[in-house]
Amino acid sequence: MDIAITAVLVIIVAYYLFYYSGKKKAHGKGNKAQTKPKNNMKYGKWVGGGLGWAFGGPIGAILGFAFGSMFDGMQTGKYAYESGTTSRGDFNVSLLILSAAVMKADGRVTKSELEYVKAFLIRQFGPQVGQEQLTALREILKQDFSIADVSRQIGRHMDYSSRLQLLHYLFGLSGADGQAHSKEVSLIEAISSYLGIRMPDLNS
């Protein structure tokens, strides 16, 4: 299944390569002054270090929506496939997807939750990258996905300390609106199980 999804994503990338190249040549013949794409639709920096194992599997399918906008980064080699490593891009993508799952667990996404995520992203990655990641999060929130499949993919590839860091962040997110909803806590506990987190570490 992972191979099939990866193959589809590669085809999509190839299509954009062909389409963009042809469009650029045609535009250059008729007009020397080219306009730049709108920055608010560019996700070229929000993974900030390359996609490794997150390129394939269920996470890759979730990211499929962003390929058109992320294409500029792929052209310059930012999104290098590094099997078996936990790059900054892999961690960021995992954080955004799990954030979306927890935020939707109780049936509603609150302003305080969005503000919590925004503050965390800006604190960790700076204003520009943080805002780009927040824009990506809003798109991910619109999608439905299997949290079990996504969490297992993360668990198979991400190092233990990074997984534990994700869990602590998710618990903080669950209490962003003043109290942790029981459905959010239950989901985080399920995620920890899928990630292979030991119970003593979860309670630390």
The CA distance from 189 to 167, in Å, is 9
pLDDT in tens, 157-189: 788 988 899 999 999 999 998 888 899 999 999
Name residue, tokens 């099997």: 83
User: Within 13 A of 147's CA, how many CA atoms are on the CB side?
Assistant: 22
Are the CB atoms for 133 and 70 separated by under 8 Å? no
pLDDT in tens, 119-142: 999 998 889 888 888 888 888 898
More confident residue, 48 or 87: 87
In this predicted structure, the answer to whether residue 33 has a pLDDT above a threshold of 70 is: no
Residue 101's pLDDT band (boundaries 50, 70, 90)? very high
Are the CB atoms for 90 and 51 separated by under 8 Å? yes
Model pLDDT, residue 144: 84
Model pLDDT, residue 140: 86
More confident residue, 17 or 101: 101
pTM above 0.75, yes or no: no
Q: What share of the chain is helix, strand, coil (3-state, %, to 5)?
A: 70, 0, 30
